[in-house]
Every structure is written in structure tokens, then in C-alpha cells.
Structure 1
Amino acid sequence: MKRNVLSSKFNTERVRVDDETFLGNYSGPAVILNSEGKPTASNKEGKDLRNFVEKVNPSEISKLVLQATSKNIILSDHCLCKIGGVNLLLELTAIPEQSPTRRILLLGRESELYQKKQSSVSSKYERYKDLAEMSPDFLWEVDSEGRFVFISPKGGLGYKRSELIGRHAKELVIDPEKFNPFPFLSPYPLDDLDILLRDKNGTVCCVVMSSMPVPEVGIDVVKETGCRGICRNVTKMRENEAALLRVQHREELLTSIVSQIRNEVEPVDILNTAATATANGLGANGSRVYRLIGGQKFVTAAEYGELSNPENILNRLKKSKLKGGATTYKTGAREFLIALTHYRQEINGAIVIWKTDVMTSWNNDHKILIGDIAHQLGLVNEQMTTHERIKKLSRTDSLTGLLNRRAFFEQDIPRRIARLVRNGESAAMFFIDMDNLKKINDEFGHQFGDKAILLVRDILLQHSRPTDLVARLGGDEFVVWFDGIDLETSKKRVEQLIKASRSLKNSTGKEISPLSLSVGVACFDPTSDETIEELICRADEAMYVAKKAGKGDYFISERKKRGK
């Protein structure tokens, strides 16, 4: 029976059936209340509602019944009732009886809105519950004292849930006294606060924390009873960010250093710039770039800053030759960082930087950076070696290794004479010709002739000083420049040379074409106005005089005074 029909019959003439039978015609919960608001009858569907009214008698129902009775009108309202152990929002209608008994018919109908709301709330609860259980984040709640009263199922910071419940949050926070207010008891919401916590293993973790106070609503006051929030361990992310920043910083420094190096052209200038830029870029007090000569000896190629006892570095370099990567060592107040340079996996030098009276040591970033710089310098060292090799080839004779004509006359002699003139020092030029070399080549072959040329080279080197210049002009002609000797000394030197050359006669084994030397000597006088060309011509002419006189002898030309 519908509600409006039941309401109509309830207020018609006296009903001939009992109340239970009368109410049984209604499909929803129905209860009859007496004038005092006490339930007297109900249908089967209304038993739970009857029990709820008898035991609880909520104010919403009492108010509804009182208004309907006092105003003698039918009223409806929504009331939250516990039906069958479940809270349901019922739409209740109070119908006053038009009789002296003043009874009330209370009809109920479950609210569709409440059903949807309850379903939505339940769905959202399940959703948040699942997310909380799956989340790697650390969800928590503390009481007013700061002790954990709730922890998400997975726990946090390596702790199980049960290990944190009841513990004070200060036990996890690094230097909690530095915070005001304490983050886990903040009276206002916090959003993405970076905080350092200690995990179960004692490791310091970087955590991003968000929280809000938990209010307790009283009759006259609202107060905070604790805090709830979420913590996310971002240690790995922060480490990765820091590592990325370090990489970017290293790349910027390396780019700056390399760009400065590339502005130079000459290898020596490149190494000097590298030494300066590396020291400045890495905050060092000084640096040195070394080259490995002959695979054995480290020599300084460039330097920046003063360094006492450099032999300590050289000893360390010898020990480091078989080691890879950058190494550090301390001596006194200095800390050194060394990286070997390579070209095609072969060591060809090293770069060394140092700090003086430092509070911080060289770290891994410095080692990586100087390793990258060393890689660049390995190429520069090889370029320098190649440059020197090409330069040497352009200046030397391929057979003897002595200076060639161009290097001797166009490069070295002009510089020597300019210096001698400034210092007022004399010198001597020996023009030397091998007698009978053509006959030896024709009779014994050019290979034998080359050996004879090398014998002459050895004699000339034996009878000259390291500071003197010895050159092969081509074929059978040589020239020697003696710095700082006068006419008398020149005469002694040439006589010693002729005497030593007599050993060449036995080199062929035949007397018909003996090997000997003819020498022409021209002395340089710094007071003379004689040009270089004139000096060379005079030495050459003296050599031909000796040759025409019978070979195997010498001739000294006369000097010309400057201005006379």
C-alpha cells in the first residue's frame, strides 16, 4: 500500500483491523507512536526502526513528531537511523491521528541520495586505502605529544609499522631543536618541507614532508590534538640532482679550459695556457705540465705558480707510471693531484696541480675533471712531439743527424753572430771537404761512401763542444762553428782535426784513393764590418786553397777589421 493511501485510512473512521495488520499493508518501515511518542505497533519492515526509536529516540525524530502533533499537520524530514546494524538515511513522515488518542503514524523510506553518498564514500575510502597501501611514501599521524599513533602499512625509513607506533618523532629528526615549530607538531599546514631524518640503519635521509594539524572540535573551542602528514624519501633523487649539477659544473669548467687552450696555436703556448687555466679553474695554487721524453724521463713543459723541491713530483710520477686514473698525495702543507696523459694508450706526460694549506681535499669531481684535462693534454703532448720531430727533420741532415745547410746559415749563424757582436766575442768557421769521396763511391759504392761520411761526422763531433754548431752542407762538405775562440785557438783546433782525420786513410784499404779532410778556417772578429756572406765565402775559399795545395791539410784566411 502506498504512503498516501495508508495516511488517508489512518485518519478515516475507526479502523476495524488491528494495528499490526493495518501496518502490514505498507511496503516500507511503519511504526505507530502513542501521544507520548512511544512505539506501540510496527510492521515487519519497521521492527528495526521501532527498536531504534525505543532505545535511542534521536532528537530529529522527537522534533519531527512534536511539530506534527502540535501543528496537527503531516511533516517529513530526513533522519540518520541505525537499521540492521547499518547507518541509513531515512525519509520519515509523521502523520498525526485525528482522534482524541493523538497517535502518530511514522512511515519511513530509505533515501536514494544517502545510498549514493554512502556508496561514493565507500568507494573513495577503498580507493584511498588501496593507494595508501601501495604508496612507497610514509604516511603518519602523531598525537599532541608528537608520538606516532598511525603509520601506513608499509612503515617508513626501513622501520616496520609496529616499530614506529608509540615512538616520538624527534627520535627520527636530525637536530630537532633547530626547528621552531617542530615540523611534526606544526600548528599550521606544511607543504614540501625538506627535512633530514635518520633511517633504521642510522643513515641520514633527505625527506620531503607535508603535514596538517588534526583539530578536535569541542562545544566552545577548537584545539589541535596532533598532526598527520606524508613523508617521501627523496635521498636518491637529491643525490642524482647533485651529481647532475656536478657533471654540468665539470663540463662548464672543461669547456672553459679547452676554449682557452684552443685559442693558442703553438704547442708550447697551449701547454702554458693549460697549466694556468687548470690551476685557476680548479682553485689550485699552481700546476705543472710534464712531457715524457723517450719513455723514461719526465721534463717540465709548462708551469704556473712556484713550487719548491720539484724532484718530489718527479719521483712520484715515476711511481705513478703504471697506475691509471688520477692520484693524490700530501707532502708538508701541500696536497697534490696527479693525472697521467696518454696518446693511443701510451703515457706521454702528466699534469700536476696542488693546493697549499687547504682545509678541503681533492674530491672525486676534481679527479674526474683533471682526468678529462689530461686526455686533452695527451693530444697536445703528442702534437708537440710531432712538431719537434718535423722541426728536427727540417733542420737536420737525414744521414748524419747534423744540422743542414738551411738551419745552419739561415737560422743559427745569424743569431750567434748577433750575440757575439753584442758581447764583443770572437769565433771561427771551419769549412771541411772530404777528399776523394767521389772516387770511393765509384769504386766501393755509395753504401761504403755513407759509412765514410759517418766516420767524418764522428770525428767532427769528437773535436767540438756541445755548444758549437756542426752541420753537413751536402755531399762531401761540412762546416763547424766554434764560439768564443780566437786565431791561436783556431789554429790548434784545426791541427788537432787534421791529425785525427789521418785515421781515415786506412778506411778504404787502398792508397790510390785515400780519404782525408781539407779544411778552410775563417775567424770572426766582432769589430770587423765583414758580413756573414763574406765570412762564409772566405772560409770556403780557404778550404779550396788547402785542397789545391795537396789535400789533407788546412788553410787559415786573413781577417778583415770592421771599418778598415
Structure 2
Amino acid sequence: MSTLAKFVASWKKHGGSGGLASAEGCVLRIDAKGNICDQSRQASPLVALWRQGEPTLTELVRKARASHVPCDGRFEDVAGANFWLVAVPEGDECIIVGRDTTLPDKVTEALMRSRALLKELLDSAVDVAFEVDADQNFRFITPVEAFGFKTEMWLGRAASQLFWPKGDAPVRNPFASKVSAHFDAVPVQLEGQERRWLHFAVHPQLDENGNRISLRGTCRDMTARFLAERKAKQDSLRFTLLQRITNSLNSSETAQELMDNASEALQEMLRADMVWAVVKYHEGLVPISITGSRHEILDLDTIWHSFDGRSGAGVIEGEDRAHLGIRLDLNDQALGMVIISRDTEVSPWSDQEKQLLDGVAGVLTAAFSKAELIDRLYRLSSKDDLTGLLNRRALAETVEARLKHQCRTDLSGCLVFIDLDHFKEVNDTLGHQAGDTALKMVADAMQNMIRPCDYAGRYGGDEFVLWLEDMKAEKAADKIRALLDMMPEIRKAIGGEDLRLNASIGLCQSRPGVDLSFVELADRADAVLYEVKGSGRGDIAIARDETDIVAEDA
């Protein structure tokens, strides 16, 4: 029970149900007009404050009446006496309880001062006091034993060589300081020992010309505190990262938004300039989110296989930098991986950052799983009734989302526009049921030739559209030619082998950061499709990039 609640309970026990004359302590009751209508025998100081219109007390009563809950506050009078005040609303009236806390406050203040003095004494304790000469060689050191060594063996030896025997002395070497200074959490590794973190306080001794002739100082082992603070910071970072990704899990409406938010959180927390979120499909690895300012093409397959036989986060060596990565699995099923990059010549990946990434692997796995579920549900809710492909609206939304994403990834996809030739002849000759069968067979063929990261949709009537993620135009044309090869089989299946049913196909590769509209991209693909129709139908044409046309005209 809080102190405020105890006060309220005490008042109700000793005077709340009747008059306040017998109530313990300093208590008074005021009515709606601010008149004192009852008081305890010890309430004189409180009565005086109320009649003086003490602002702290009147504001406390106003807040209690406005909120209809007890409020408390503190007040110090001109004589230095401290009071704790509580206002308890009771209908139109208000009960005010006061307690003189001067004595306990002064005791607390004295204890705090004593604690501060004790801390100063403890902080002044040191493990080693020393003096080095102008060449940084020890010429005095105490006590006789420190850090497990007999310090007399250090006399005459170079301090930096003893504290950093591997030659990795810090840039701000305390033994080389030219001014009085404090150096906190300096990493040292004495011969044959684990790394320590020391606090140095140094004071150079100068001659009449200002030249350093020696340096006196102390050092204190702060390894335990440093490791505890680092762990606390690591835990805080992990909690913050977990919270951000979890919030994204709960609030993101699309799979793309979810993965982008998770990637951005990793980029910020790990001070990276690039994060790749890569999904493992049966057909291969596909980046679904790339955030950051640095664009680089990675050998995803090599990175993926570098995790074989390895658990947890690890460092992957690149051409000019090392990446931090982790592979994500759920119930022995590979989901994908996250790769994080920054300039490791300036800031190499630390063991703590690997542990941080390991610590959020679970929530990243959940993010990948939910992103896959969101994408699957979106496709199911956006289907064309006849073919099961995406409908026109969903297709346009999806392609425009991918085009906007390409502004950040600098990757390129292909939009394929398919128009069935002489489809009306099928309906007129064999009936609409045969026409529907033909449309379904074309849709099935499209579904069978695309990857999970690609999208297939019915644009309307006998027109279809494919979006092929991260694919060049020539490869897309080779892939889609399988549909033309299937047309004789479709004609045979509907009983119209003598019919002219075929397909004309126009293909357009997107330009990252330029093409942002589905309609504009579809118009370019449609334009070359009609070139195919004009030259005999049943073939594929690729829209030429406008930059290539301008270069040729020049």
C-alpha cells in the first residue's frame, strides 16, 4: 500500500466516519465554500496555512476536487519546516491531512551527505599509484603487488609495453598525456591475463620550460563496473530493438511495411549503412527489403551456404568490408536471413553486437513468418473469381509498391503484358464455357512459371499481367516463352485445335527511381504488345529503355 493510501485509510479509521476532534494527527475539513467546518486538536498549523491562502495548499485542494481522487504535495515554510500535505475529496467537502516531516527529511539529507562522502572516499581508493619518466618508464610504483604481479619487477620498464604487450595501446594513451586528465574504461591486457578496464588519473610534471619531465598518476580496476554497465546497455538495446520490431509486428498492414520497419530498426540500433532482409523460397533467395544509403550487390547464395553448420549470428567477409548476418529457421524450415553492413575498417563488429542480433533472432523469425502470412492472405483476398489470379486493383497496388521499393534497393523488375489473340473466336465457336476453360489454363500456366516473389494477375477480359521481381528483360522473355509453347496444348484441351487462339506479349523492364506508376509501365508494355499484333501476333516484344533511345538519337 502506498504512503498516500495509508494516510487515507488512517483518516477513515480514526475520524473519517465522525467528527475530527478525536482524529490522530493534523487534520481539518473544509466545505465547498472553503470554510473550515471541522478540525483535529493538532490542526492549528494547518488551519493557519489555509487561512493565509498558502498557494501549495489551495492548489492541492483544487486538484483533488477536480480529479475526485486524493492528491498530495510538499510545503516548506519560511522557518524551514517541511510538511507533507494530502487532500482527500469527500463530496462537496475536502479533508486535508498534514504531517510535519522536518526531522525525517533532515535525517535523510544527512544520510545522503554521508553517502556522498563515503562514495568520494571509495572513489579515491586506487589499485596502483605510479610515476613514469619522460620516456614512460616506471621509476616509482606502489603497492608492492597489483593485478597479480610483483610491481618491483616493473621498475625501469616501459609502461605501455607492460600494459599493452601486443602493441595495441590506445590513441589516448594515459602514460603519454601532456595535461592533467582522467581516462575512463581504458582497455588493458597484461601478459597472460584477460582484458581489464582501468580508470587512470594522471598529472604531468613540467620543467621551467614547460617540458614534461615525468608523469604521476593512479589507476583503478573498474572491470566489474564496466562489464555490468555494458551488459545493462546491451540489455537496454536488445529490449528497445525487441520492442520496436514487436510494435511493427502488431501495427504493420503489409508484408513490405513489416520487413522495412524491422530492417530500419536493425540499421539504427547497429549503426549500419545497409540492411538486407532476404527470403528463402524453393526457387532461390530473394531480397524483400533493402534499407540504407549504400547499394551493393551481394552473392546471396555464397552467404547463405556460409551459415551451414553454424548457429547464431556471424561475420561474413565481403570484398571491402565484413557483414554481420544471421540465418532464420522455424521448425527446421529455412525462412531467410538478415545481413547488416557498415564500414568495418572504422568500426568492426563486436561480440556484443553478435549477441544483440542473436537476442532478437526469435522476434525476427516471427516477423518473417508474419510477413509471409500477410502476403499469402493478401493474395487470397485479392483474387480474380474466375482465374484465381490477382484482380486488376490488387495487381496495380502490388506493382506500384514494388516500384516504390526499388527506389531504395536499386533493383529492377519486369512487367509482362499478355493479350490472347483471337479469343472471341473461341467464345463464338465453342461457347463461353470453353473460353473460361482457356482463361483458366492460361492462368494456371502463369502460376506454374512464377516464383513466390512474383505476381500474376488478370487485367481484364483476355488480358493478363505478370510482375517478375529482380529479373532482366531478356531472362523474363525466355521464361514467358513457355506460355506461347503451351498454346497448342490449350487449343487441344478446349476442342479447338483448328482455332487461331494464341498470345501476343509485350514486356517492359522497370527503371529504379524513375518508374513509379503501374499505368505508365503497363502502357509501355502494351505499346510493344501491339507492335507484335501488327506484325503477325503470337510473339514477344521488349520495350526499349528510353535512355538507350536517347543515346542512339544523339
Quick one: higher RCO (CA 8 Å, sep 6+), 1 or 2? 2
Compute the TM-score of the two structures, normalised by the length of structure 1.
0.39
Compute the TM-score of the two structures, normalised by the length of structure 2.
0.40
Q: Which is greater in Rg?
A: 1
